[in-house]
Every structure is written in C-alpha cells, then in structure tokens.
A and B are shown apart, each in its own frame.
Chain A
C-alpha cells in the first residue's frame, strides 16, 4: 500500500508533467491505431474488390471511368497507398464512379452499342435506390433487408426478369421491377419519363448510353476490362473503333493483365504499409519511451533526496512502476474513450479500437503500450537506484 501512496504523492506533486506524459502517450497510441485501422479496412476492401472480379460472373467485362481529378483526395500526402485505395472508395461513395459489368451471351463476341451489349451500372444510385425502397418510400418495392432491390433497364427486361437476383461485389441485388424505355427513377416521384435521363438513379443503360453519359459526368474516358476469350482481339478492336467515333478515350485491358495489376498493386501497397507501420511504431515507441524515461530521469534530484532520506531501493523502484501503471491505465482509458466517441460520430475506420476490425490488433497495441511503460520504467528506475545517493544529489552540495 505504501508504494502506491508514494507513487500517488509524486503524481500529485508532478501533475503537470504527468498530464503531458499521458497525453503524449495517448497520442502515440492513437497514431498507431489509425494506421492499423486503415490497413485493416484497406485489406478487407481490397479483398472484396478482387474477389468479385475473379468469381462473380463468368463473362465479366469491367468498365471503369478514368478518374478525371486525382488531386481532390484529402488523403493525398498521407500515404501513397491509402491515397490509391481511398480514392476508389471515395469516388464510389460520391456516386461519380461507375464500376460496370458488361454481359454478353453472344458466342460471336462483343458488339458495343448493340442491344446485346448492355451495361450494368453498380453505383451509389443503386444503393440509394435500394435504401429508398427499404425505407418504404416506394410502397410497391420494399426491401427484405438482405438484398438491394433494383429496377432493370428496358433492354434487360428479358435477361433479368422481375424476381431474379444476382450478386456483385459481395452484395445481393434483386430485380423488383423494370424501367420502360427512356425512363428514370426519382426518389420522390417514382418512375418518370425522361429522354435525357442519365442520372445515377438510372440503373441499367446500354453501352451506348454509358458512352453518351460520359461527358455528362465530366469523365474523360472509360477503362474496359475484357475477359480473355477467343474474341478478345475483336472486342478490343470494336471498342477502340467505337471510342474513336464517340470521341472518348477508352483503355482496354484483358482480365488477366488486370488481375496481375491488382496483385502487383496489392503487393506494393502492402510493402508501403509495412514501411509506414514501422515508422509509426517507431514514433509510438520513441514518444512513449522518451516521455516516460524523461519524466523519471528529470526527477533524479528528487529521487536522490527521497533516497538519502531513507527510502529503500525497492520502495523507489516499486513506486516508479506503480506510477507508470497509473499512467498506462489512464492513457489506455483515454484512448479508448476518445475512440468510442469518434466511433459514435461515425468515424469507424479511423481508430482500430473502435472499428469492427480485428480485436487482436487492439490487444497487441495495449500490450505494446504496457510493455513500453514497463521496460522504460524499469530501465530508468534501475539506472537511478544503482547510483549512490550522493551521485544523485551531486547538484545539491
């Protein structure tokens, strides 16, 4: 008990430096948890993304617009790989991102712009639509909560009859109705006729529509991925020709080269992540250690006085450890509270501790903080108590 009372005395006497040290350590812990959270959410999203490309539909062609503006990302400068990944998510969320799948059942290949060649736009518009239905805004179309209800474009009506479903990028879509030609769905109004309808609420358009929509969205081109088959060269040629007539810049790539690109990007980003992680951990380790060692060693004179007034080496060492224990507990509780608060505000992925991601990281991080406190306290404490009292009081005459 008396060890704790010694520690408590010294915490009270040094409350300012104690407070600063706790804040420093909390900050360092946050920094690490941010990186971990980002890494976890990154790898999960990345996985979903490439999985869907590989397996969802056998005859899949992916059409993505080229990003018109890459400088708008607020992650720019934070880290290259986060920038890359978050740009994708950000664009998806803003609704300006089309990741689209072209279906073709024609053995003879792909003919852009024909009725066979249709484009399925999976974007924010569909999600909003689904949510709107789920909220009962359109009484005819209510979601069961598991799948996202969508309307099929008129060119699809036969291919995707009402009631059919499919999954894409890990989400299940159920066709609950179909749009007539030249129609769009508007949340408040329902289905309405509109010849110029290229809003994001429009879920199914033809490839021609898509190409026409490009300038409308301010996109400067399309990025098309073709599944490797006998007609890939033919498809490339057709797409290129079509692009020329439309005046749009289209990049064409086969799925194999696309996937190897994804894998390469993943490896690169993992390497970058490890680099950043080590830098952040270094910052965390240095901050916690320096803070703790400094607050102990700067009190050399005080500890020397306690020592020469009769405190035993054990008393001093144990009270330093008790004090570091207080510090670690306060630091971890603070960190946890702020994380929970931020999670309540919806910043789930920012703090590892509050995100739905792995608890193991949280435990590892707590262990790291505790270990840092323990090691640095023992190091500086033992360094001090090994001295003769008079060496600690050298500046005391």
Chain B
C-alpha cells in the first residue's frame, strides 16, 4: 500500500544541515502492523511524519496506493491526510481546554459528520477503549493511560486506513504500555494498517514486522 522510494530528508534549520533520512526504501502492505525501532535522534519521528503527510521528503518518492503524495499540492496533501491517515502522538497532543469527548470528536468535525452520527461514533470508540466514564473530563484531570486511550480513540474514530503511533507507550508505565499495545493489536485485527515507533524491543514484539533505523538509514530486520 505504501512505498517510499529513495527517500531523503534534510533539515536546514539553524544553518546546520542534518540528514535525518538517507536513501530510505520502505514498503508497507495493507493491513500490516509494523514497528520502527531506533535510538534517539535516529530519524524515527521524521519517517513517521513523512508517512503521515505532516512533513515532506526533501527528495524521493512517496506513493500511497495509487497516489503520488510527493506531487500533491498543499490543499490536496491536507485533504489526503484527513481522508486516509490518523496519528497518535508521543505526548498525546490533546487539547487541554477541550473535554475528552470534544477531543475525540475533532476528526469527525473536520469531516463534517452530522451530530447524531458523531455522538454515536464517539460513544462506540469510548466503549471499546474503556473511557466512557471520563468523556466529560478535561485531559489534565485524567491519568496518562487514559490520555493515551483518548488519543487512540481520536485516531480511530475517523476510521482511516493508516494509523501512525509515535512512541505510544513512551510516557506510560510498563503495565499501561502493554494495555495500550493490546488495544492496538485489537484495532489491527479490525483490518487497519498500523505503524508504531518505539525504542522498546518488548513493545515492538507486538508488531508483525520490525524495521530498524540508524542515523537515518533503514534496515529491514525481521525478528532477532
């Protein structure tokens, strides 16, 4: 489903050139559960942002299904992300002033889903993730695990085919982290393509396939 062909990403900020990705060739099939592992600063987030249409390659090609993402104009690029990709951020990226319910609703509003349908979908995913009773609370008033569930609920409520998770367990303790991975596995069983970034080998075990990235270079590395 996804192909990155000869992808390079160079950051030019602060007058310093930083090659965050170098000649990356990467393929993800539909319905796969992939883990990207690597040390800090190796380029994991950079790769995920490019996959998620949050950032662009400096050179190379990014194909998503039939679409050549690298050739899309700005608005089409954003529309494509809205229709196909969901993101779970390392630090949850919840809006603190919105309730859990409103946070989960954001992608539905962005897609102009009708109100009754919105409410139904939110209740459905909240039930699935076990957060029905905190829907009216604000993110600062709930636990880290609940915040991560909220972030995941927000990512899956729109029913997009690709789910990208940047260190979904990074801010959680071991037990809660494992719970979150179990949830992701459930979601994967429902037919979604999932990419998880992590530096924790135990967490990566949950994926079907593990790739390693070192200093911007990608290594396919099936099961150590």
| A→B interface (CB under 8 Å) | 2, 5-6, 9, 13-14, 301-302, 305-313, 315, 388-390, 393, 396-397
Q: Does B182 sit within 8 A of A, measured CB to CB?
A: no
Q: Name the residue of chain A whose CB is nearest to the CB of B50.
A: A390
Contact for A306 among B106, B112, B167, CB less than 8 A: B106
Partner of A388, one of B54, B82, B112: B54
* Tally of contact residues, B, Cβ under 8 A: 32
Other than the given A310-B110, A396-B93, 13 more pairs (CB < 8 A) read: A2-B112, A9-B98, A14-B97, A305-B93, A307-B78, A308-B54, A308-B87, A310-B82, A313-B75, A388-B56, A389-B81, A393-B89, A393-B93
Nearest opposing residue in chain B for A5, CB measure: B109
CB-based contact A309/B78 at 8 Å:
no
User: Is A13 a contact partner of B95 (Cβ separation < 8 A)?
Assistant: yes
Contact B110 A9 (CB under 8 A): no
Is B111 an interface residue when CB atoms closer than 8 A count as contact? yes
Partner of B166, one of A5, A6, A13, A397: A397
If A313-B78, A389-B54, A390-B54 touch, does A308 touch B93 (CB 8 Å cutoff)? yes
* 3 nearest A-B pairs in the assembled complex, by CB-CB distance: A310-B82, A310-B110, A397-B90
B93 CB contacts on chain A under 8 angstroms: 301, 305, 308, 393, 396-397
Return A368 CB to nearest CB of chain B, in Å.
Answer: 31
Main SS at interface, chain A: helix
Which residues does chain A contribute within 8 Å of B158, judged by CB atoms?
310
In the bound assembly, the distance between CA atoms of A310 and B85 in angstroms comes to 9
Alpha-carbon gap, A312 to B91, bound state (A): 23
Across the interface, which residues of B come within 8 angstroms of A389, CB to CB?
Answer: 54, 81
Given contacts A305-B95, A393-B89, A397-B167, contact A310 B55 (CB under 8 A): no
B111, A310: Cβ atoms closer than 8 Å: yes
C-beta contact mask, B106-141 vs A, less than 8 Å → 1, else 0?
110111100000000000000000000000000000
| Chain A residues, CB < 8 A from B82 | 310-312
B91: A residues at CB distance < 8 A: 396-397
The CA of A315 and the CA of B167, in the complex, are separated in Å by 29
B154 contacts A by Cβ under 8 Å: yes
B residues in contact with A305, CB < 8 Å: 93-95, 106
Minimum C-beta distance from B158 to chain A (A) = 7
Shortest distance in angstroms between B209's beta carbon and chain A's nearest beta carbon? 24
Q: List 8 A-B contacts (CB under 8 A).
A: A9-B98, A13-B102, A305-B95, A308-B81, A308-B87, A309-B107, A310-B81, A388-B54
Whether the Cβ atoms of B110 and A315 lie closer than 8 Å is: yes
| Residue pair B98, A390 in contact (C-beta under 8 Å) | no
Residue picked from B74, B78, B98, most chain A C-beta under 10 Å: B78
Q: List A contacts of B198 (CB < 8 A).
A: none
